[in-house]
Every structure is written in structure tokens, then in C-alpha cells.
Chains A and B, each alone.
Chain A
């Protein structure tokens, strides 16, 4: 076994509402959606219009920049709505699901008889190529690249994150099949990064054709960007691909059953969920059924994903393509009288500026209040405590703010993603919107390099 990579910097935010390890099959939702906004850097071109009928696996839109990459419907049914936002950006393509799902049949030969190009084509047609993303930029991978490695983070350390070992435990053969498909795409090594703190699920530990690496440490240890940084850091010109475990399983199922079966397991978590457990759903489901009679009263924030990086959705919103979790926390629209001066036994902070550090094992109900006002940078050394890469985070952010391409490159922009800075954003005393700055930098860099 390889040695354990220990990560010291980081922060585990202990919140109320971890999902109990029970999997329940969710009732079929009435509506499902595929959201082009889940995919960074694409420009969607619609292939359907309202009223069209689709099967599970029917292409719904494609990317203008990579027309071969198609995005397909997760269920069969009728397109009922195409929601657009500012400047007519497509936000959601909503499908009213049939009671019985009809699948597109993909003609797929035995895997050993397929060439790389054929595998790529199948993935593109089925809509599953989008599962494979690349660093830098976190965009969908380009099949013409030969990545220097493929990384799989097999665990999630984010607040209230689902236990990925638990989620994948019954999908051993599909997972292996998915790995086999990935190894058709490249001769480079496939890194499967597991958590060293507990014995890994057999799905992971018995996987063949992968290099297993063990990690231990607080969040963001589970972030694939941190893992790449520790194992095989990205230099200028390098491309690394990455993919999440549940998508590997979906790919495996595609090659096994020759259909796009978008079933996956998500954790419904957060302090406002009455009964936080895992649900078996079909990707893109409306959360309406999952939260019915299952959340507390009051104004709530519904998040697809975790509290640090997730997307805000409405209470009948849809689970995002890559997410394995929804989180529901209270909105924080309240004024607090002399809040900054109180001892703060009940409030959580990563610093020791409140007296709640006296109660280390407490779990907190955190809301969406900003807890302060936006300020210029004053405090230093704060981000560095939660940022485990050998990169100067503040200096990189400043380089992005002044749009200094050379400096951004020198300071390591290729190695980072928004999610790696989520904790910096959380701890920031000056309440700087760090993740959107990083995204801006990545977009700028991508434009500059293309």
C-alpha cells in the first residue's frame, strides 16, 4: 500500500444535520431538469423545443465549442419548459417525466473490441462525456487531449458531505466497468484517492487498473485539486482529467446495460431537514418530493451541493449534474443587536475570537447571514491556514483583480479551482467573494490561452 499523504491545513466545519446512513428510494418526481449552467465554459445550443418528446438518453442540447459533446435527458417525457435568465441564457430544460421511463438504446460492442475513438463517441452521444472534466479551468475534457493523469477523489470532506464509500458500496461491478472505460481513454495512470481514516469500501479497495493513494486531513483534503497538487501538480501546459465516483458508475452502467440510466444516490442534509438520510434518485430530479413534510418552518436556503460550493436552488429546484448532496439551512435575514460584541458561545468561528472554542465538540446550525460587512484586506495569514497548497492565495487573488496574466500564471492559477478557495471565502474577515474572483481569473486565463 502506498503511504498516507497527510494534510494539516484546512478546516472541518461541524454542522448539524448529517445524513443518517439509510438509503430510501425517492418517489418519482413529476419534473426533471438538465441545467446548462452546471457545465463551466460551454455555450449550449438547443436540440429540442417545448412540447418535444424525449427518451432517457436523447440529446437535449450540445456545446457550440465542442459540438460532438451532447447533453442528454435523464428521463423520458415531454419538454415542458425552457427557462432563460439574463440575456436569454438557458438556465433549465425541464422535462415532465413519464410514469415508465423509456430509454434510448445505444449499440455498444464489448469493451475490449472498442477503440479509443469509439469509446469517446459513445460517451459523447450518451451525454456522459460531460462527466469527465479537466484541470486547469474545470471545464469538460477535450477528447483530443491526452491527459497526464486521471484523478478520482473517492471521498468528500466538505461540511455535511455524503459518505462516498457508503454510496458506492453496492455498485462494485459498475464502478470497475467505468474504470475500464476510462483506461481505454488514456495510457496515463488513473489515481483513485481514498480516505485513510477508515477502511475503504471494497468498490474502491478492490478496484483494478488504478493507483490507490491514501489521504488524511481536514477539508479540503477531499477536493480533487488538492490531491492533484500533492501527487502530480499541474504545470503550464499540463492537462489532468478528473471524474467523481458516481459518474464512473453511471458510465459503467452505460457500457453494461447499453442505456443511460441516470440513477444516483444523494444525501439530503442540513440542520433544517427533519429526517436527513440518503435517497436514490434520478439525476436532475426536482427536490420537491424529497423535502415535502421533511423540512422545518421558516425561510430556508435550498442548496444543491454543499454549503461552501453548492448552487442555490428553489424549493422545487433541481439537483445539479455533478452533485451528490442537497443541503438545507436557514436563511439569515436577521439583525443581531451588538452581535460583534457578544461572547459568542453559540456561534461558530474558525478563529478563537468567540468563546465558542471552549466547546469544541459542538455542532452548529449555521445560517446564510454574512456576519459582517465587506472590507478591504486587513488580516493576513488567514487564508493560508485553510489552504493546503503551496500557493500564496491572497497574492494570486490580487493578481486576478488587476488582471495580470503573467503573475497569475507564476502564482499557480492552473492548479486551482473555485472550490479550493471556498474555505478561504468562508473564513475571510473582510468578507471577500473569493470564489467568484478565482472563477473570473480562470475564465480570463482560458480566454487568453485559447
Chain B
């Protein structure tokens, strides 16, 4: 460690202003601070600072995502083996999924971080850690057979148009990972929806047995094939087709527990999203005219990307509402609209992505009214 530190100190001048690798300053800085917490000390204001920093925060979110990643890899293998009628050990299932999913993660990180590094250098900033999370979220919301070039394109779109044009991490209006997904969803719908995309190998169609449809439970429900729905326990555990990381409510709940316990995810948003979804589900139950509307409200929470969106997407602090009251309204409306879009709109089988993006856009407005309330209270006090 000491020798590594000495080496870094030795080469550091080359990356400073006037050095021969000046253009790689941000890159060097990112790697240096990744390995060593900097020796910077306080110079004004408070003399001590909390031990938490952005790296730690983002690392915890990535850690919270790991259960869904690991389960997602296994699930990819499981469905491929099921679709081709083969048997495999648990490790074989996982390994197949790993080989499929890992390249997507690598591409997402390489493209995203590459752009982030370039922009950080251009702006003279330190590289922001926000993409460590986005880079993991993007693969998790994609179908497994998405071509890698699409992953690269979507990631580039999300980082540049979704984030950097607004000023980078912290300034973006839309959730970057969902921006990537929405981009692919509208640009290449045949790769993002339908029954064939969720199971590895189905698009090419080789060796798939006839009885396997590959339909997600949500698609079955939307088509009115309620009898095709898997058991509640399968849906909860996530042994269903779907995007890589979204299927297992259990794995998502483990992640939620980590986020809530460390206080990094907003409990207000998670809970109000679930409540919003339940309320809309109950309204549909009351006025049900078709089998999809009859699905018990709580079952909606297990379907599609609802749980994943509520825990990992809606809670993105940058694109969510920022005030305490605002967060409750924001979360509630996400849940509410997600189920509304899901059940009513025939074009999009999943409403979570659009509901979150819609509320991302409205979050500043919600905050505006919450803050206006505070301002009015202060004015009223002054007059009395």
C-alpha cells in the first residue's frame, strides 16, 4: 500500500496542470481517490466532516443491488434451460446467466464511465460517482437478449442527453437508467417487448420447446389469461420471465432493507409508492370490468417492474422530489399512475417506467408548491 501510494505521489505531477498528461487529470484523480481517500483537510467552516461521502453512498446502493443481480443471473439461466427443455445444476444455470449478463454490465459501465470521465475533464470537475449506480441499474432493467451495441447506445444517450446536457450528476431531471430504458423501448420496441425477448435464446428460436411461451405474467394478465399466471410464491421469489433484475420481489426487498437501514433510500418514497399502487389497484378491483382489473391490488406489487421501480428507481434522490412532503406526494402518484397505465393502456404492458419518468418531470412542481406553503406560513406569521 505504501509503495502504491509512493508511486501515485511520484506520477501525480504529470497529471497536474502543465504536466504531460494534463488531459487525463480527472481520470487520474478518479482512480487515485478510488484507491485512497484524499488527504484534503478542512480550511473553512466546520473543522470536522462526517465520514460519509459520495463513494460510500453509491457503494451501498450497488451493494443493495447485488441480490437482484445474482438472482437475475440465475433466473436467466433457469428460463433458458426451461425453454430448451434441459436440466441443469444451480451453478450451470447461474453460469449461463453470468455469461449473458456480465457483458451487458461491462458495456454499460465502460460506455457510461467513459463519457463521465470525458465530461469531468472538460468541465474541470472531479468524476462523480453517480454512474456507479446508474451503470448497474441499466442492465437490470433490460431484457437479457438485448444486443450489446444497443446497451452502449442507450447508455450513451442516457448519460449525454439525460444527464450531462443538464450539467451532470445532481442536475438531471430524469432518472438516467430509465432514460436508457425508455430510449430503447421507443427506438427498438421489437427488442424490448413481446414474449420472445425475456428468455435467452428465444429470439433466435433455436431449440425452444413448443410449450414454452416466454410470456411475462404481466403480459398474460394484460391479455386476460389469468389462469396462466404463475403461483404467488413464484412471482414473489421471481422465478418468472422479465427484465434481468426486476423479477424477484424477495431480492428487491433485501435491497430495500439495506437502503432503508442505512438511511440512503427514502422510506417516504418507497412506502408512498406502494400505497399509491395499492389504492389504484383497489379502485380497479371495485369497478372491475375485465379480468386484469380483477387482479387483487397486492398482486400488482409482485408483477412487472413495480417493486424494482419503487425501491431503486423512484428513490433516486436527484430526480425525485426533495422535500419531505413532496416525496410522499411524488411516491404516491408514481404508484397510482404505474397501475393506471399498466391496466388501462393497451400499448404499454408496464406502467412503472413511464409513471416514474412522468413524476420525475413533475417533481420540481410538487416541491414548488410544498415550498410555497412554507413561504405563505412565514408571510402570515409576519402579518399577525
Q: Do A and B bind each other?
A: yes
Residues in B neighbouring A336, C-beta threshold 8 A: 36-37
Contact check, A301 vs B37: say whether CB atoms are below 8 A apart.
no
Instruction: Give 1 or 0 for each of B129-153: 1 = CB within 8 Å of chain A CB.
Output: 1100000000000000000000000
Does A353 contact B381, Cβ atoms closer than 8 Å? no
Given known contacts A339-B36, A433-B45, A375 and B128 CB-to-CB distance under 8 angstroms: yes
Report A184-215 CB contacts with B as 1/0, cut-off 8 Å.
00000000000000000000000000000000
Q: Which residue of B lies closest to A344 (CB)?
A: B51
A395 to B40, CA, bound (A): 28
Contacts of A347 in B (CB 8 A): 51
In the assembled complex, B346 has its CB within 8 A of some CB on chain A:
no
Q: Is B39 a contact of A329 with CB atoms below 8 Å?
A: no
Interchain CB contact under 8 A, A390 and B374: yes
Cβ of A235 and Cβ of B126 under 8 Å apart? no
Instruction: Give chain B interface residues in 39-91, CB to chain A under 8 Å.
Output: 39-42, 44-57, 59-60
Number of A-B contacts (CB under 8 A): 200
Which residue from chain A places its CB closest to the CB of B368 in the assembled complex?
A: A395
Cβ of A332 under 8 Å from chain B = yes
Bound CA–CA A37/B57 (angstroms): 38
In the docked arrangement, what's the CA distance between A150 and B297, Å? 58
Contact A353 B52 (CB under 8 A): yes
**In the assembled complex, B277 has its CB within 8 A of some CB on chain A:** no
Q: Does B33 contact A (CB under 8 A)?
A: yes
In the complex, what distance in Å separates the CA atom of A167 from the CA atom of B289? 76
The residue of chain B having its C-beta at the shortest distance from the C-beta of A337 within the complex is: B1
Given known A-B contacts A381-B266, A392-B323, A411-B371, A426 and B48 have beta carbons under 8 A apart: yes
- In the complex, whether A350 has a CB less than 8 A from a CB of chain B is yes
The interface size bin for chain A is: 35 or more
Q: Contact between B56 and A333 (Cβ–Cβ < 8 Å)? A: no
Nearest chain A CB to B138 CB, angstrom units: 18
A334 at interface by CB-CB < 8 Å: yes
Whether B378 pairs with A350 at a CB distance below 8 angstroms is no
Interface majority SS (helix, strand, loop, mixed), chain B: loop
Instruction: Tell me if A65 counts as interface (CB < 8 A to partner B).
Output: no
B317 part of interface (Cβ distance < 8 Å): yes
A115 is an interface residue with CB less than 8 A from chain B: no
Is B41 within 8 A of A332, CB to CB? Answer: yes
Determine the residue in chain A with the shortest Cβ distance to B383: A235
A410 contacts the other chain (CB 8 A): yes
Interface residues of A in 380-439 (CB under 8 A from B): 380-381, 384, 390-392, 394-395, 410-412, 418, 422, 425-431, 433-436
Complex: A232 Cα to B168 Cα, angstroms: 42
A303 within 8 A of B: yes
Query: Knowing A347-B51, A429-B54 touch, does A370 contact B36 (C-beta < 8 A)?
Result: no
- Binding stretch for chain A, among B100-108, B185-193, B219-227, B257-265: B257-265
Residues on the A chain within 8 Å of B4, using CB:
337
For chain A, what secondary structure do more than half of its interface residues adopt (helix, strand, loop), or is it mixed? loop
Residues on the B chain within 8 Å of A367, using CB: 41, 48
Contacts A371-B53, A390-B377; A310 near B47 (Cβ below 8 A): yes
Is the CB–CB distance between A353 and B170 below 8 Å?
A: no
Are B35 and A308 in contact (CB-based, < 8 A)? no
Inter-subunit contact B36/A337 (CB<8 Å): yes
Instruction: Tell me if A236 and B382 are in contact (CB < 8 A).
Output: yes
Separation of A390 and B170 alpha carbons in the complex (Å): 25
- In the complex, whether B375 has a CB less than 8 A from a CB of chain A is yes
Question: Quick check: is A378 within 8 A (CB to CB) of the other chain?
Answer: yes
Query: Are the CB atoms of A375 and B39 closer together than 8 Å?
Result: no
Chain A residues positioned under 8 Å from B170 (CB to CB) = 375-378, 430
B327 on interface, CB distance cutoff 8 Å: yes
Q: Does A349 contact B (CB under 8 A)?
A: yes
Q: Which residues of A from 128 to 156 have beta carbons under 8 Å from B?
A: none
Min CB gap A414→B, angstroms:
10
Contact A340 B59 (CB under 8 A): yes
| Contacting residue for A352 out of B47, B261, B324, B377, CB 8 A | B261
For A310, the closest partner residue in chain B by CB is B47
Residues of A within 8 A of B54 (CB): 372-373, 375, 378, 429-430
A422:B53 contact, CB within 8 angstroms: no
Residue of B nearest to A423 (CB): B46
Shortest CB distance A26–B (Å): 23
Within B8-51, the residues touching A (CB, 8 Å) are: 33, 35-42, 44-51
Is the CB–CB distance between A425 and B46 below 8 Å? yes
A1 at the interface (CB under 8 A from B): no
Chain B residues whose C-beta falls within 8 Å of the C-beta of A12 in the assembled complex: none
Q: Are A375 and B382 in contact (CB under 8 A)?
A: no
Contact (A349, B38) CB under 8 Å given A233-B381, A307-B46, A379-B317: no
Q: Which residues of A contact B33 (CB under 8 A)?
A: 373
Q: How far is the CB of A160 from chain B (nearest CB, A)?
A: 11
Q: Once the chains bind, are A370 and B40 in contact (CB under 8 Å)?
A: yes
Given the complex of chains A and B, what is the CA–CA distance between A428 and B51 in angstroms? 10
Q: How far is the CA of A312 from the CA of B38 in the complex (A)?
A: 21
Out of A308, A337, A350, A375, which one reaches B47, CB within 8 Å? Answer: A308
Identify B52's interface contact among A351, A366, A368, A422, CB under 8 A: A351
State whether A349 and B52 are in contact (beta carbons under 8 Å apart), knowing that A301-B47, A381-B266 are contacts in the complex: yes
Instruction: Render B262-277 as a binary contact track against A, CB cut-off 8 A, 1 for contact.
Output: 1110100000000000
B329 to chain A, nearest CB (A): 14
- Is A277 close to B, CB under 8 A? no
Contact B51 A354, beta carbon cutoff 8 Å: yes
B322 on interface, CB distance cutoff 8 Å: yes
Are A366 and B48 in contact, with the CB atoms below 8 A?
Answer: yes
Any A CB within 8 A of the CB of B182: no
Return chain B residues, CB-CB under 8 Å to A338: 35-36
Min Cβ gap B267→A in Å is 10
Q: Is B36 touching A335 in the complex (CB atoms < 8 A)?
A: yes
Instruction: Please report which residues of chain A, range 280-331, place their CB below 8 angstroms from some CB of chain B when the two chains form the complex.
Output: 301, 303, 307-310, 312, 327, 329, 331
A369 at the interface (CB under 8 A from B): yes
Contact A392 B371 (CB under 8 A): yes
Take A233-B381, A340-B55, A370-B40 as given contacts and tell me if A349 and B45 are in contact as well, using a CB distance cutoff of 8 Å.
no
With a cutoff of 8 Å between Cβ atoms, the chain A residues found around residue B56 in the complex are 340-341, 353-354, 372
What's the least CB distance linking B319 to chain A, in Å? 10
> Chain B residues near A372 (CB, 8 Å)?
37-38, 49, 52-56
* Chain A CB within 8 A of B361 CB: no
A307 near B36 with CB under 8 A, answer no
Contact of A353 among B40, B49, B57, B371 (CB under 8 A): B57
Query: Would you give the shortest CB distance from A366 to chain B, in whole angstroms?
Result: 5
CB distance from B102 to the nearest CB of A (A): 21
B47 to chain A: closest residue by CB: A307
A350 and B50 in contact, given A334-B39, A368-B41 (Cβ under 8 angstroms): yes
Residue B171 at the chain A interface, CB threshold 8 Å: yes
On whether A235 and B39 interact (CB within 8 A), knowing A351-B52, A353-B56, A372-B54, the answer reads no
Task: Let me know if B320 and A380 touch, CB within 8 A.
Answer: yes
Q: Cβ of B266: which chain A residues have Cβ within 8 Å of it?
A: 380-381
Chain B interface (Cβ < 8 Å from any Cβ of A): 1, 4-5, 33, 35-42, 44-57, 59-60, 126, 128-130, 167-171, 261-264, 266, 317-318, 320, 322-324, 327, 371, 374-375, 377-379, 381-382
A372-B56, A374-B126, A392-B371 known, 20 other contacts, Cβ within 8 Å: A159-B48, A301-B47, A307-B47, A309-B46, A335-B37, A341-B55, A341-B59, A351-B262, A353-B57, A368-B47, A370-B41, A371-B37, A372-B53, A373-B126, A375-B54, A378-B128, A391-B374, A392-B374, A426-B46, A427-B50
* 9 tightest Cβ-Cβ pairs between the two chains A and B: A372-B53, A376-B170, A339-B37, A235-B382, A340-B55, A335-B36, A435-B45, A347-B51, A336-B37
